[in-house]
Structure 1
Amino acid sequence: MLIGAVADDFTGATDLASGFRRRGLETVVVVDPAAVEPTTYAGVDAVVVALKTRTAPVDEALEQSAAALSWLVEAGAGRFALKYCSTFDSTDEGNIGPVLDAFRDRLGVDRAIVVPAFPANGRTVRDGRLFVGDDLLEDSSMRHHPLTPMTRSRLRDLLAPQTPTPVTEVPLDDVRAGVDALRSTLDDAPSGYLVVDAVDDSDLETIGRATAHHRLLSGGAGLALGVGAADAPPPALPAEFSHVSGRRLVVCGSASTATRGQIAHAAATHPTRKVDLAAATTDPAAEIAALADWVRGLDADSVPVVYSVGDPSDVVAAGPRGPSTSTSTSTPSAASVVESVLSTLVHDLVADGTVGLVVVAGGETSGAVVTALGAPALIVGPPLGPGVCWSAATTSDGRPVALVLKSGNFGAADLFSTAWEALS
């Protein structure tokens, strides 16, 4: 195994895995390491362990991340990566810093790069500051994230409160000096974490080649650009996809601008239905049954879209002391209701054979869906754009299913209409 990675959410895992596959690497996402023998995928080029630890309590994130890393060590990975969000979603307590510290200690390394940049999706780092498109992170929509509001943009300022480990910045000029020069700069830098600027894919390529001897990497899905061959043909469509049958379904638990745009685009040609949050809160079983009956009653060739947030008026951010009493899907309590409803809906429709292909929008929702299906691993398939791909899985009761696990902010506007073409 060339590289083993640990991702702090499910969409991040498939995001990175898709990048590895684009570089010609046979790639698997392991969802439940405890259910999979480490030697099962020892011959695969890249394995990504998908966790749901981004906003978990620090102790819980540390325990799960350390167990995943130990699994990858036992599986024979030669190098390791910690994958976190390209907008560095975290708080002053963690979880990025504490988990990185644990990985450094476990692997016995003295330094690790910090590279959240993902230019293909508008995430760049200049002068140590993280940008989302043309905006500083602190001026982007992430400033109002209900769980991890990002009110600073300098990565050193974000990481330093989370760890006692020194943080050094490596400017773009050092990256543009070339592979050999950057390797020397990184090797001569103080021990600790090295925040490296990157504004385009060629910068990530340079960083990847300059750190080919590093045992531990950290960053966003752009890390994949430094692993494998740039001109390698992608592997053939895995055989697992040929076993999938059933109808199509889209479920959206994300409140992001991109997902709302995708819902609006789909509404012009596809049947759509919004989760009744009040009903889902008081009687979730009844709301799930109503949604399932609606899907079953549609034409078999249709692409139904079930969503929780359709426009900004549906979103009410959590207050500084926790979630408001509103039933907005942006509050943690409401979000958990939506995750439960959507994941159970998918489970029930897959279990009875109605649905076999599902697009899921939202990181937390994706994690809930995969957990509900009981799939121990995902075989990575065709890409649909930067950070978005198909994957094949087998549920706990032996049913094959194809999934797109999409970060709320990713994907083209017509994704819900066009995703299916990649499997035809």
Structure 2
Amino acid sequence: MIKPNLRPLLGCIADDFTGASDLANNLVRAGMRTIQTIGIPAESQKLNADAIVISLKSRTISKHEAIKQSLQAYEWLKVQGVEQFYFKYCSTFDSTPQGNIGPVTEALMDEIFGEGKGFTIVCPAFPEAKRTIFNGHLFVGNELLSESGMRNHPLTPMTDANLVRVMQAQTQRVVGLVNYDSVRAGPDEIRARFHALQNQGIGIAVVDVTCNQDLESIALATADMPLVTAGSGLAIGLPNNWRIRGLFDLNDSSDMLPPASGYQAVISGSCSQASNAQVRDFCQRGLPTFVIDPLADVSHVNIAQQAIALAEKHLKNGPMLFYTTSQPDIVKSIQEKLGVIKASEHIEKILAEIAKGLVQNGVRQLVVAGGETSGAVVQALGIKQMTIGPQIDSGVPWMSASSPCCHDETIHLALKSGNFGSIDFFTKSFTQLSNLHHE
């Protein structure tokens, strides 16, 4: 007989909003009742769920602020009584040579184990999204991370695929490797490798992954580990640890959402190769679009007003796309004129203002592409908590929430990491949502 679960089992800290929904999606698929919060909830709030995912916007902020926010999230989850903590970052390990992945990991380890003590893993792999690790090197599809489109990321260009080297540059603890041979040998061998590394004075280990079976083995090997750090892939296997112990059973209704209503819109601020292809697909279908030129006007409100005015004419006929998505050379030109940080903030303000206007004008189904864009949009809409629904594509679920911008009516949201999703993602998302309650 399954014991009633009186407290959350897993407490997650995600460094951006799309990554948080990606993680929550995998937990829900594994049967865990999961709630995603926007920022750290109110101190007295108690959430009834198997897993809680706290969404932070800490990936590209200062190292010190990222540590501060992450520790605050940890303290809140600790009060909830969770058994295991999960620091979630992107499957492409988005960071700079200074952080923020390494510094946040170390700060959490110091808090949980004591300064300079303890052991945890680094595992951004997600084979379903074509992110794998071999001999410590991260691959995107068949390309090394450093040879993929991530080398041109406007905020966190990734020019080194060696995760041991990248992580070591960001941490004081010694970083080691659990290679493919150990992982393929199964959970017992992985645990043995963990112990061997710890005996060598290594505090953090990058773990190779080439398939979902590897993730399941790693999950079993980390069942008693107080802190894991990973992309969303590891969440596929972790819930089984509590199922084995009889602490929760598969929840067949864990991804149920209310019926969708209202107008449909897409906002894309991502400059990834995948998002560029998705924008082209939407345009080629002859659907209405609004292209945002960040250099056209330094007053983001004016651009937003133009976008909303056009939306009022087209939304009643179907989905509309609003985008700044551009090729790397155009992005570089904008950054040279405005500065990297100012350009990013300027674009986020424009897209956030458009999102508010769309919701105020009846949009209740909204797809957002890009991690930074998603964070700006969700915060602008005043959303505090989201319920996770069914998966659209690997790593991207539909979610429902309420927003004060529409008198707390239900909004359905899909927050897509830039590199995720099929080429027709923008249009098929709405088709899937409309079919949910007609099957």
Aligned residue pair count: 411
Q: Would you say the 8 A contact 1:6–1:68 is kept in 2?
A: yes
Q: Do residues 238 (structure 1) and 256 (structure 2) align?
A: yes
Q: CA separation in 1, counterparts of 2:90 and 2:254?
A: 28
- Aligned residue in 1 for 2:76: 71
- Aligned residue in 1 for 2:374: 366
- Aligned residue in 1 for 2:222: 211
Q: CA separation in 2, counterparts of 1:232 and 1:421?
A: 27
Calculate percent identity across the aligned residue pairs. 38
Deviation, structure 1 residue 38: 4.1
Correspondence 1:6-405 to 2 at 5 A: 6-35=13-42, 37-39=44-46, 41=47, 43-108=48-113, 110-190=118-198, 191-229=202-240, 232=250, 234-239=252-257, 241-242=258-259, 244-269=260-285, 270-279=287-296, 281-311=297-327, 314-316=330-332, 323-325=335-337, 331-352=340-361, 354-396=362-404, 397-405=407-415
- Structure 1 residues 77 and 38, CA gap change in structure 2 (3 angstroms): farther
Q: Would you say the 8 A contact 1:97–1:163 is kept in 2?
A: yes
Q: CA separation in 1, counterparts of 2:102 and 2:274?
A: 28
TM-score (norm 2): 0.89
Q: CA separation in 2, counterparts of 1:58 and 1:275?
A: 31
Q: CA separation in 1, counterparts of 2:109 and 2:299?
A: 46
Q: Residue by residue, what CA displacement relative to the aligned partner does 1:335-385 show, whole Å, maximum 9, x if unpaired?
A: 222211111111122134x21110000000000000001111111111111
- Structure 1 residues 199 and 393, CA gap change in structure 2 (3 angstroms): same
- Structure 1 residues 313 and 151, CA gap change in structure 2 (3 angstroms): closer
Q: CA separation in 2, counterparts of 1:346 and 1:59?
A: 30
TM-score (norm 1): 0.92
Deviation, structure 1 residue 187: 2.8
Deviation, structure 1 residue 423: 2.4
Moved more, 281-290 or 300-309: 281-290
Question: Secondary structure of the residue that 1:110 maps to in structure 2?
Answer: coil
Q: Would you say the 8 A contact 2:152–2:328 is kept in 1?
A: no
Partner letter of residue 371 of structure 2?
Answer: G
- Aligned residue in 1 for 2:5: none
- Structure 1 residues 311 and 143, CA gap change in structure 2 (3 angstroms): closer
Q: CA separation in 2, counterparts of 1:120 and 1:417?
A: 21
**5+ residue gaps in structure 1?**
none
Deviation, structure 1 residue 399: 2.8
Q: CA separation in 2, counterparts of 1:423 and 1:37?
A: 34
Q: Would you say the 8 A contact 1:22–1:234 is kept in 2?
A: no
Q: CA separation in 1, counterparts of 2:344 and 2:79?
A: 36
Deviation, structure 1 residue 315: 2.8
Q: CA separation in 2, counterparts of 1:326 and 1:283?
A: 13
- Structure 1 residues 126 and 111, CA gap change in structure 2 (3 angstroms): same
- Aligned residue in 1 for 2:432: 422
Q: Residue by residue, what CA displacement relative to the aligned partner does 1:374-417 show, whole Å, maximum 9, x if unpaired?
A: 11111111111111111111113423211101011001111111
